[in-house]
Amino acid sequence: MHISGQTRVFMVIGDPVAQVRAPVLFNRIFQQHDIDAVLVPAHVPAGRAASFAREVLGSGSIAGLWATVPHKPALLPALSGIDVHGRRAGSVNAVRRAADGTLEGALFDGLGLVGALAHHGIALAGRRVLLLGAGGAGAAIAAALLDTPIAQLSIHDLGDRARRLVERLQSEGSGPRLHAASADPAGHDLIIQATPLGMNPADPLPLDVERIEPGTQVFDILMKSATTPLMRACAARGIEAHAGFEMLVQQVPAYLEFFGLPEVARAMRADLSGVRQVITA
């Protein structure tokens, strides 16, 4: 990796940021494709994301920001433009400078989920989906699922979070297939787990696995380990379940395209195996 005064710089911001895998992944892609660009981490304190984005993207050579927790919703006040998923979910994970100098954001988490389901051969047409978790990840996933031919989307979370997300999505012009629901898997044939439950060994399972109907497919977006407690409980009952890593893999081409590298994005779409290797390493 050769960094000169002419190298385009991208940053990934988070609080914390030490855990992010984006620099390893994207710097490898830049090198492999001979792109004179580098992605570096920046630990930006909560509350500073919007001003940080405005200031660093005022630099002509800093080409874009990746954003992770807790900055995804906090970036919105800095943006003049936002893609449809970001607007529905109220958060973005990528920000770039438009030709007129204003900032544009986009949200790729939901695209990543939809791509991951396709990768695992999970069809969406006509499915009755239960989404557990209406936080940042859940909102991003719901925002993208509204563009797919699913039959219905039930969203569950604690308190009134699910109801508020449903109202937000409906106010963005989305249809009647959407409602807040309990965590009961009965009556659903695709379950997407987007709560933090499973991060700690003492966590309860996010739903009653005994009530999952045969033939239902489960996708757990937790990325702490290759096999989550929910996946193990499903396996014990013969229920098909998949881990979240593929969500990250599937977002990679969208980032590259957003940041003005369509040829690299195309090459990645044709073969994501190298990306998969880095992310699951």
Determine phi and psi for 95, rounding to 5 degrees: -135, 135
Q: For residue 55, state whether it binds its own copies (rule: CB under 8 A).
A: yes
Would you say 53 or 144 has its CB closer to its own copies?
Answer: 53
Would you say 10 or 108 has its CB closer to its own copies?
Answer: 10
Report, in Å, the least distance between residue 115 CB and its own copies.
23
Q: For residue 50, state whether it binds its own copies (rule: CB under 8 A).
A: no
**CB under 8 A: which stretch of 45-53, 108-116, 198-206, 259-267 binds its own copies?**
45-53
The 10-39 site mask, x for binding its own copies (CB under 8 A), equals --xxx--xxxxxxxx--x----------xx
Q: For residue 61, state whether it binds its own copies (rule: CB under 8 A).
A: yes
Report how far residue 61's alpha carbon sits from residue 176's, in angstroms, rounded to the nearest whole number.
45
Q: Which of 32, 36, 43, 211 lies at the binding interface for its own copies (CB under 8 A)?
A: 43
Would you say 43 or 266 has its CB closer to its own copies?
Answer: 43
List active site positions: 72
**CB under 8 A: which stretch of 43-51, 109-117, 217-225, 249-257 binds its own copies?**
43-51
Would you say 29 or 166 has its CB closer to its own copies?
Answer: 29
Binding residues for its own copies, per CB under 8 A? 1-7, 9, 12-14, 17-24, 27, 38-45, 48, 51-52, 55-56, 58-62
